[in-house]
Chains A and B, each alone.
Chain A
Amino acid sequence: MNMKKCIVNQWTGSLRAASVWAGSTAFTAVHAVSDLPGGPAVNQLNLQVPVTQIAQDQAWLHWLMLILCTVIFIAVFSVMFYSIWKHRKSVGHKAANFHESVTVEIIWTVVPFIIVILMALPATRVVIAMKDTTSADLTIKVTGMQWKWGYDYLKGEGEGIGFYSALDTAQREMSSHGGPKAGEVVNDYLLKVDHPLVVPVNKKIRVITTANDVIHAWMVPAFGVQQAAIPGFVRDTWFKAEKVGDYYGQCAQLCGKEHAYMPIHVRVVSPEDYSRWVLDEKKRLAAQADDLAKS
């Protein structure tokens, strides 16, 4: 696995260097946009930096596929372009008349079949891992609604906490007014929320999704997680973030006019910070309940 990680990081590194060069003149440069850690990088070419085992595996699978496909692509098209170069009428090539060969045809049916099986094997392992939502440390219900997210901590430390999470209103205004103006640096444009989801690092978090109105999808690329939130139904997925930090995603299923404006922000914190946050939240909830009782 370490070897795998190393290869992934190396490739990602060189890709990033290329993208820095490519992007030095364009819009992002004029606006001095920089990479958003835990979110998209400027002119990013590949998947986001993984912070879960699943996302790491997905990135590895993607490299595997990319390399295999590139090799096949080059092999097939070198034959085609060689033929285009050599077997032209203008260079005086005379047409042969062969039009079938059972041996060749069987070979090129069987070989792709074997390649496909070889591709499917590692993918199967990851699918099974992705689907295993058992023995979670923390269970959170995520409710999609037009157009914000609701988070309810159902089980584990912080049980009973619940809140909404919506896009920062100033950023929504900014979007309506033509986006960030030249010189304005908004690295988290359309990704800033009023109330991020907070989870502890290195704990298995089970996410149960549902929705209030139409289908939404909860996606955090750095975790390798995307799960539709379907009204009237519950679905689940999980992640175990291995690094403290802020991670971003966006609603991935068309859900109406504000579809582009319901981002996801997950703050991964240390266990101590998480306990502190739970305490603060509980206090806030108690105060809210108090206010309600008084009025």
Chain B
Amino acid sequence: MSAVLDHPVHGDHHSHVPTGWRRWVYATNHKDIGTLYMLFSLTMLMIGGVLALIIRAELFQPGLQFVNPELFNQLTTMHGLIMVFGAIMPAFVGFGNWMIPMQIGASDMAFARMNNFSFWLLIPSGVMLASSFFMPGGAPATGWTLYAPLSLQMGPSMDMSIFAIHLLGASSIMGSINIIVTILNMRAPGMTLMKMPMFCWTWLITAYLLIAVMPVLAGAVTMTLTDRHFGTSFFNPAGGGDPVMFQHIFWFFGHPEVYIMILPAFGIISQIVPTFARKPLFGYASMVYATSSIAVLSFVVWAHHMFTSGMPVTGQLFFMYSTMLIAVPTAVKIFNWVATMWQGSMTFETPMLFAVGFIFVFTLGGFTGLILAMAPIDIQVHDTYYVVAHFHYVLVAGSLYALFAGYYYWSPKWTGVMYNETRGKIHFWWSLIAFNVTFFPMHFLGLAGMPRRYADYPMQFADFNAIASVGAFFFGFAQVYFFFFIVLPTMRGQGEKAPQRPWEGAHGLEWEIPSPAPFHTFETPPKLDITATKIIA
């Protein structure tokens, strides 16, 4: 009390770092909130991973061994929802919170209290999602796509999940507003838009996507809610509603959503590759344009998820063409990364390993995406394991690998200590091999016609399922290893002390400040050199 009276005007930010639980619950510092986001995401990754391993254990052999088909469907649903909304998206917001102000020379995020609110909304929604298994009737068993009218048959946990999705949506929208306002208004003088680091660019575009589509999802689930309880028939065919309309609305959200999960990953990779090639990013401007065109195209491709729902031939052709068109800007990105590496002076520390692994394995997922875009082939493999293989190649080997790469790249700045390089390399090779053992055989299963979301399957599919299950457990253990032997030690400050610029080829404002980054950075706008990567004293 007296402290407050003694300092009616609280001007000295440097000396004031809140401690104890208040530091986190009342957090307004972008770095603290970034840390909270990432811890939340890591927790959800572990929960979602356990669900995946129960699924894989069940599918190890034909026949039901561990779970009944009802619970199986709940597991696939919650694995999807938790990984998409709980693990991948918050992780990128965490990276954005940490890095965006430091990369553009801003003192913090624009709306510090809203930032706090958007994080703390995640906790109740995460709890609601994870605990829905214990509700009467169990968790929703509709698949993460929540297709009507199956969603109308679900128990009360469906309503809880709808509420959770509303909160997650609100959180994402607030987070996005924060990122857009910060990037547009709080750049240090001299940091023009076209000098911004690629990670900020990709997040800026992603934030617009989020603001555009999260309300669409909120609308879809709200209509589901009123169909369930208030006698409306938006999607209920018994009252004249249209179940296909739900699919259109859901995928109008859902397709930009998959780019929301990959564009910031592109940003991270575009920062790491030049650093370790010791050469500037090739085609910076074309990277920005490619990212923007992917974002724009993402709004006109949604019905490629619905080729088997039945649509006129012109519809099928339009969505086939528009989807295949996305291959062009994506190819440009891959070429740019390869050209950045060309004639460089490369070293392969763990961030670079994950980045190269990303480019290699994500491209495989990109090619299967092109194959799936062809409507005639999609008719054969729609809703089979081929699709499961495809989106795990782009989401795990894509988004998750980029997050790992980003963690190894920036954690010295966050924690002030270097991770253990040998352990990082073990984590990379272990993950890469186990990932491919898990998901590569799924291409074969899908081509052979094994539908996804099946608790049991014909015996001819047994061997590839067994291989995938073994791979999945190895992949799971690799992430436990990552948590206990890499993340925990760095968080506890164990390890070599990190220099201000741990990577020889790194450029950018985040490397102009000490490691660990002080609680407050850039309280007065820094004076930048012409490239906007260095501070002139």
What residues of chain A have their CB less than 8 Å away from a CB belonging to chain B? Answer: 22-23, 26-28, 31, 33, 35-36, 39-48, 54-55, 57-58, 61-62, 65-66, 69, 72-73, 76-77, 79-80, 83-84, 87-90, 93-101, 104-105, 108-109, 112-113, 116, 119-120, 123-124, 126-128, 130-131, 174-180, 186-191, 209, 213-215, 217, 219, 221, 224-228, 230-233, 235-236, 249-261
Known: A99-B279, A228-B308. A177 touches B63 (CB 8 A): yes
| Shortest Cβ distance from A107 into B: residue | B335
Query: In the complex, which residue of chain B has the Cβ closest to the Cβ of A96?
Result: B343
Whether the pair A95, B277 counts as a contact (CB closer than 8 A) is yes
A28 touches which of B68, B451, B462 (Cβ 8 Å): B462
Kindly name the residue among A131, A186, A213 whose own CB sees the greatest number of chain B CB atoms within 10 A. Answer: A131
**In the assembled complex, which residues on chain A have CB atoms less than 8 Å from the CB atom of B64?**
175-176, 178-179
- Interface digits, B253-287 against A, CB 8 Å rule (1 contact, 0 not)? 00000000000000000000000011111111110
A53 CB to nearest B CB, Å: 12
Which of A48, A90, A105, A228 contacts B449 (CB under 8 A)?
Answer: A48
In the assembled complex, the Cα of A232 lies from the Cα of B153 at a distance in Å of 16
Which of B61, B64, B463, B505 has the largest number of chain A CB atoms within 10 A?
B463
Shortest distance between the CB of B315 and any CB in chain A (Å): 10
Instruction: Say whether, besides A27-B466, A58-B376, A119-B324, A179 and B63 are in contact (CB < 8 Å).
Output: yes
In whole angstroms, what is the CA distance A253 to B141 when docked? Answer: 13
Q: Which residues of B contact A233 (CB under 8 A)?
A: 237, 242-244, 310
Bound: A251/B450 CA distance, A? 10
Q: Which residue of B lies closest to A86 (CB)?
A: B343
CA distance A39 to B211 in the complex (A): 46
- The interface residues of chain A lying within 8 Å CB-to-CB of B241 are 232
Chain A: CB-nearest residue to B352: A84
B519 at the interface (CB under 8 A from A): no
Q: How far is the CA of A108 from the CA of B459 in the complex (A)?
A: 45
Within 8 A of A (CB), among B151-202: 153
Contact of B283 with A105 in the complex, beta carbons under 8 Å: yes
The distance in angstroms between the C-alpha atoms of A46 and B444, with both chains bound, is: 6
| Given the contacts A219-B449, A230-B310, A252-B384, A259 and B454 also touching, CB distance less than 8 Å | yes
A150–B398 Cα gap in the complex (Å)?
A: 42
A175 touches B456 (CB 8 A): yes
Q: Is the CB of B457 within 8 A of A235?
A: no
Contact check, B150 vs A215: say whether CB atoms are below 8 A apart.
Answer: yes
CB distance from B264 to the nearest CB of A (A): 22
| Residue in A54, A55, A84 whose beta carbon sits within 8 Å of that of B341 in the complex | A84
In the complex, A84 Cα to B340 Cα: how many Å?
11
Quick one: closest B residue to A60, CB to CB? B376
Can you report 13 A-B residue pairs in the complex whose CB atoms are below 8 A from each other? Answer: A40-B461, A104-B339, A116-B328, A119-B374, A120-B324, A179-B456, A186-B459, A189-B459, A190-B458, A214-B149, A256-B150, A260-B454, A260-B457
Q: Are B243 and A90 in contact (CB under 8 A)?
A: no
Query: In the assembled complex, how far is the CB of residue B74 from the closest CB belonging to chain A, in whole angstroms?
Result: 10
Q: How far is the CB of B351 from chain A (nearest CB, A)?
A: 15
Q: Kindly list chain A residues whose C-beta atoms are within 8 Å of the C-beta of B243.
A: 214-215, 230-233
Q: In the assembly, what is the distance between CA of A43 and CA of B308, in Å?
A: 26
Give the number of A-B contacts (CB < 8 Å): 335
A49–B279 CA distance with the chains assembled, in angstroms: 50
CA distance A221 to B449 in the complex (A): 6
Interface centre among B370, B376, B451 (most CB of A within 10 A): B376
Cα distance, A178 to B346, chains bound together (Å): 53
Question: With an 8 A cutoff between CB atoms, is B327 at the interface?
Answer: yes
Residue of A nearest to B246 (CB): A215
Closest to B336 in A: A105
Residues of A close to B359: CB separation below 8 A:
80
When the two chains form their complex, are residues A191 and B376 in contact, meaning their CB atoms are under 8 A apart? no
Contact B320 A130 (CB under 8 A): no
Whole-angstrom distance between the alpha carbons of A79 and B335 in the complex? 10
Contact with A along B292-334 (1 / 0, CB 8 A): 0000000000000000111011001100110011011001101
Chain B residue numbers with a CB within 8 Å of A227 are 308, 310
Interface residues in B, total, Cβ within 8 A:
98
Within the assembled complex, what's the spacing in Å between the Cα atoms of A61 and B378? Answer: 11
Query: How far does the alpha carbon of A64 sit from the alpha carbon of B61 in the complex, in Å?
Result: 34
Contact A36 B308 (CB under 8 A): no
Q: Is the CB of A256 within 8 A of B363?
A: no
Question: In the bound complex, what is the Cα–Cα distance between A23 and B286 (angstroms)?
Answer: 47
B360: chain A residues within 8 A (beta carbon): 77, 80
Contact between A100 and B282 (Cβ–Cβ < 8 Å)?
yes
Question: A80 to chain B: closest CB distance in Å?
Answer: 5
A residues near B224, Cβ cutoff 8 Å:
none
Roughly how many angstroms separate A224 CA and B142 CA in the complex, as a whole number? Answer: 26
A44 & B376 in contact (Cβ 8 Å cutoff):
no
B379 lies within 8 A of chain A by Cβ: yes
Judge whether A249 and B449 touch: CB under 8 Å. Answer: yes
Bound CA span A197–B48, Å: 41
Q: Does B228 contact A (CB under 8 A)?
A: no
Contact B63 A214 (CB under 8 A): no
Q: B237 contacts which chain A residues (CB < 8 A)? A: 230-233
B222 to chain A, nearest CB (A): 20
Cα A95 to Cα B280 with chains together (Å): 10
- Across the interface, do A175 and B379 meet the contact criterion of CB distance under 8 Å? no
Please tell me if the beta carbons of B371 and A65 are within 8 angstroms of each other in the complex.
yes
- Inter-chain pairs besides A126-B375, A127-B316, A250-B449, 14 sampled, C-beta below 8 Å: A27-B463, A48-B449, A62-B377, A76-B363, A80-B338, A83-B343, A87-B344, A93-B344, A175-B62, A214-B243, A252-B308, A254-B453, A258-B69, A259-B454
* Residues on the A chain within 8 Å of B234, using CB: none
B342 contacts A by Cβ under 8 Å: yes
Q: How far is the CB of B451 from chain A (nearest CB, A)?
A: 5
Query: Is B448 on the interface with A (CB-CB < 8 A)?
Result: yes
A40-B153 CB under 8 A given contacts A73-B367, A80-B359 = no
Q: Which residues of A contact B341 (CB under 8 A)?
A: 80, 83-84, 87
Interchain CA distance A261-B359 in the complex, whole Å: 39
- Residue of B73, B238, B316, B463 touching A254 (CB-CB under 8 A): B73
**How far apart sit A292 and B282, CA to CA, in the bound complex (Å)?**
79
Collect the chain B residues with CB atoms within 8 Å of residue A77's CB.
360, 363
User: In the docked arrangement, what's the CA distance between A101 and B68, Å?
Assistant: 58
- A25 smallest CB distance to B (angstroms): 9
**Which residues of A are found within 8 Å of B285, using beta-carbon distances?**
100
B147 touches A45 (CB 8 A): no
